Amino acid sequence: MRAERAAGAATPALQERPRALPRAASRRRWALALVYGFLLTYLAFVLFPLVWLLLSSLKTRADALALPPRIIFTPTFEAYEKLFTAGILMPFGNSMFVGFTNIATALVLGVPAAYALARMQGGAKQQLSFWVLSTRMAPAFGVIVPIYALMRTLGLLDTRFSVTLAHLSFNLPFAIWLLMRYFEDLPVELEEAALVDGASRWGALRHAVLPVSAPMLVAVAILVFVASWNEFILAFILTSAEARTVPVLVASLAGTMAFDWPLMSAVSAGAMVPALLLVFVVQRHITRGLTLGAIQ
Amino acid sequence: MAVGVRQRWERATMLAPGLLALAGVTLFPGIYLLYMSVMGWTAFSPVVRFAGVDNFRTLLRSASFWEAAGTTLLFVTLSTGLSLLLGLALALALNEDLRGRGAMRTLLTLPLIVPPVVAGFGWKFLLSSDVGVIGAFLLPLAGIRVAPMGDPQLAMASVVLADIWSKTSFMFLITLAGLQAIPPFLYEAARIDGAGFWAQLRLITLPLLKGVLIIAVILRVLDAINTFDVIFVMTQGGPGTATATFSILGWKIGFTYFDLGQAAALAVLMMVGAVFATNVLIRRTRLAG
């Protein structure tokens, strides 16, 4: 990354000066200590709840509730076994289904539309940008009220289909927009060669554009999946039993169960697994996709 | 011309499926929402009648609406303000050439992909005055005996804390990307002129970062107005109505009292408010610059 390399040179305050006075050097050391202190404090704030959830998920109920908290304990996979035996795995299947269906739909419908828009000039693109921004302004329950009424009438409440459809209301515009900005930046020469050879626009897309776009498609797919996996209010209102997603399960356990903390923590830990995998495997894509969506 | 016709036809076949689906999942619910907001519409009665502005009038005259307005304003201001400051500070620090920078950046992006519901549950668990390691152990150890979820102000502080935990990463990532786009030679020139850290921040970094920060704040404000998950999991809007923002109120009206018409009206008002707030933010910041 170009910016990555430049960042080293861009350090405004902490750069070593060749002939710094002793006083300046000590001030610099203090500043550095302050910066590290702040960063480490904030990191502790970020990591503490996550580590605590993971630890709690490996405790017995008695250990989890013990105060002062037991830092050293015999880990047990009881809570995770309960996940399988208590029949609460279904929400994980539902979330997977909704997430992957969203990826497939958003890409299959979004890629051609985004590509065509990227090769158009002027007004349509601006209107689409506004459209996308306006979907971000829409309160989630502004979307859920009409979709709920519709699904009720159609008798589709508590189905995976209704959740999938509801999630597309934010994933589809997001995917189209990200892909459009990406295709705009691709060099046109790539596809022009194909077009001159007599290929159609579809052919150019398939043989010239898509092969080089794989990293971006992966990034968009991940963002779509995570958005769907984490979404709560739409799934919460549309489902009651059969089609509950993972966040709905977490919320219902947090609200009603006689506080089986290890089980709750195990569910929460399970809810974080895809996210954790994605961050460590494809962190670069995620960062790029997220900031791309916000800044450009 | 044959070529022109063929190209236009191809373009249409590419655009149509995506844009039709887009209209189906965004435009249609929007129009249907407007329709519902002027109808008397409860989920249990089969009779749907035209209600005109009744839904809006009832809403604007209810105390709970204005209470929720104040709560939303407080929540949005605290959450946006604090996550902006923290995100900016983190980005400035991690734009420096520090040891462990890459690892710290990665760890800081974690909360962004943790489901907000899990973030809310995690903090509720930690802060609980019955079983939480903070609420039932560390705070009492420090001589503070409180029930964070039972006290109106502490409950607000708790949901803001969890929301900041969940959303500061976003502010951090955007700000960092903005910082990396500032050409380094500007700082070199400033240093030669003897500008210190604060002068560089005020004269170079903040002015050049302004555009990015405005976008970040707008997105964050819109997001905070619509926050539901964290609040719902932690307090369900309570105690009383202490943390009942518009989203929580809308859920109550629509899905516990099942007055969908009034819920639709509230959604319309929120939408208008969001557009208004965005415009004010854009205009204010333009005038200021």
B220 found inside a domain: yes
B8 found inside a domain: no
Say what the ipTM of the complex is.
0.88
3-state secondary structure A122-163: CHHHHHHHHHHHHHHHCCHHHHHHHHHHHHHHHCCCCCHHHH
Q: How far is CA B1 from the centre of its chain?
A: 51
The nearest CA of chain B is from the CA of A200 a distance in Å of 8
B199 found inside a domain: yes
Please report the pLDDT score of residue B154 as a whole number.
Answer: 92
Q: How much is the average pLDDT of A143-150? A: 90
Conformational region of residue B47, where left means phi above 0, alpha means psi within -120 to 50, and beta covers everything else: beta
Q: Is residue B8 helix, strand or coil?
A: helix
User: DSSP secondary-structure letter at B42?
Assistant: B
Contact yes or no for B17 and A113 at CB 8 A: yes
Q: How sure is the predictor about A10, in pLDDT bands with cuts at 50, 70 and 90?
A: very low
Q: How far is CA B239 from the centre of its chain?
A: 22
Q: How sure is the predictor about A5, in pLDDT bands with cuts at 50, 70 and 90?
A: very low
User: DSSP secondary-structure letter at A10?
Assistant: T
Contact yes or no for B121 and A287 at CB 8 A: no
Quick one: which H or E segment has residue B199? helix B197-200
Contact yes or no for A147 and B226 at CB 8 A: no
**Model pLDDT for residues A62-105, shown as the tens digit of each residue:** 787 777 777 778 888 888 888 887 767 899 999 999 999 999 99
Q: What are phi and psi of A226, to 5 degrees?
A: -65, -40
Please report the pLDDT score of residue B160 as a whole number.
Answer: 97
**Cα–Cα distance measured from residue A247 to residue A245, given in angstroms and rounded to the nearest whole number:** 6
Instruction: Classify residue A44 as exposed, middle or buried by CB count within 10 Å of its CB (0-12, 13-18, 19+).
Output: exposed
Asked if A266 reaches chain B (Cβ–Cβ under 8 Å), the answer is no
Contact yes or no for B115 and A114 at CB 8 A: no
**Cα–Cα distance measured from residue A176 to residue A128, given in angstroms and rounded to the nearest whole number:** 9
**Cα–Cα distance measured from residue A95 to residue A244, given in angstroms and rounded to the nearest whole number:** 8
The nearest CA of chain B is from the CA of A2 a distance in Å of 9
**B245 neighbors B226 (Cβ within 8 angstroms):** no
Mean per-residue pLDDT over chain A, rounded: 81
Please report the pLDDT score of residue A232 as a whole number.
Answer: 95
Contact yes or no for B233 and A251 at CB 8 A: yes
Asked if A131 reaches chain B (Cβ–Cβ under 8 Å), the answer is yes
B266 found inside a domain: no
**A239 neighbors B108 (Cβ within 8 angstroms):** no
Instruction: Classify residue A79 as exposed, middle or buried by CB count within 10 Å of its CB (0-12, 13-18, 19+).
Output: buried
Please report the pLDDT score of residue A113 as a whole number.
Answer: 92
Q: Which residues have a Cβ under 8 Å from the Cβ of B6 and sit 6 or more positions away?
A: A200
B228 found inside a domain: yes
Share of chain A above pLDDT 90, in %: 29
Domain of residue B281, CATH code: 1.10.3720.10
**Tokens representing residue A115 in the block:** 């590509």
Of A33-47, A141-155, B132-146, B208-222, the least confident: B132-146
Please report the pLDDT score of residue B130 as a whole number.
Answer: 79
Asked if A196 reaches chain B (Cβ–Cβ under 8 Å), the answer is no
Nearest to A268 by CA among A112, A20, A43, A58: A58
Low-confidence ranges of chain B (pLDDT < 70): 1-3, 43-47, 285-289
Q: How sure is the predictor about A9, in pLDDT bands with cuts at 50, 70 and 90?
A: very low
Q: How sure is the predictor about A283, in pLDDT bands with cuts at 50, 70 and 90?
A: low
Q: How sure is the predictor about A4, in pLDDT bands with cuts at 50, 70 and 90?
A: very low
Nearest to A262 by CA among A251, A249, A253: A253
Q: How sure is the predictor about A7, in pLDDT bands with cuts at 50, 70 and 90?
A: very low
Q: Which residue of A has its CA nearest to B23?
A: A169
**Which residues of B fall within a CB distance of 8 Å from A205?**
14
**A71 neighbors A48 (Cβ within 8 angstroms):** no
Q: How much is the average pLDDT of A223-245? A: 92
Q: How much is the average pLDDT of A191-218? A: 85
Q: Is residue B283 helix, strand or coil?
A: helix
Q: Which residue of B has its CA nearest to A114?
A: B15
**A295 neighbors B212 (Cβ within 8 angstroms):** yes
**Cα–Cα distance measured from residue B84 to residue B171, given in angstroms and rounded to the nearest whole number:** 6
**Cα–Cα distance measured from residue A148 to residue A141, given in angstroms and rounded to the nearest whole number:** 10
Residue window 81-100, chain A: list those with CB within 8 Å of chain B: none
- The fold for domain A85-295 equals MetI-like fold (1.10.3720)
Please report the pLDDT score of residue B214 as a whole number.
Answer: 86
B82 found inside a domain: yes
Q: How sure is the predictor about A20, in pLDDT bands with cuts at 50, 70 and 90?
A: low
CA distances to B100, B128, B151, B154, B162 from B145, in Å: 38, 11, 12, 12, 20
Quick one: which H or E segment has residue A269? helix A261-295
Q: Which of B107, B125, B174 sits opposite A47 (nearest CB)?
A: B107
Please report the pLDDT score of residue A256 as a whole number.
Answer: 63
Sole residue written with tokens 């170009």: A2
More confident residue, B177 or A237: A237
Q: How much is the average pLDDT of A260-283? A: 78
Is residue A200 scored above 80 in pLDDT? Answer: yes
Of A19-23, A176-180, A252-256, B186-190, the least confident: A19-23
CA distances to A224, B26, B263 from A172, in Å: 8, 9, 25
Q: How sure is the predictor about A211, in pLDDT bands with cuts at 50, 70 and 90?
A: confident
**Which residues of A fall within a CB distance of 8 Å from B18?**
109-110, 112-114, 172, 176
More confident residue, A287 or A272: A272
Please report the pLDDT score of residue A119 as a whole number.
Answer: 85
Q: How much is the average pLDDT of A249-269? A: 80
Within 13 Å and on the Cβ side, how many CA atoms surround B273? 19
Please report the pLDDT score of residue A2 as a whole number.
Answer: 40
Amino acid, single-letter form, for residue B155: A
Q: How sure is the predictor about A258, in pLDDT bands with cuts at 50, 70 and 90?
A: low
Q: Please state whether beta strands B49-50 and B39-40 pair in parallel, antiparallel, or not at all (unpaired).
A: antiparallel
How many CB atoms are closer than 10 A to CB B260?
26
Contact yes or no for B271 and A295 at CB 8 A: no
Q: How many domains does chain B have?
A: 1
Of A55-69, A208-222, A273-287, B58-72, the least confident: A273-287
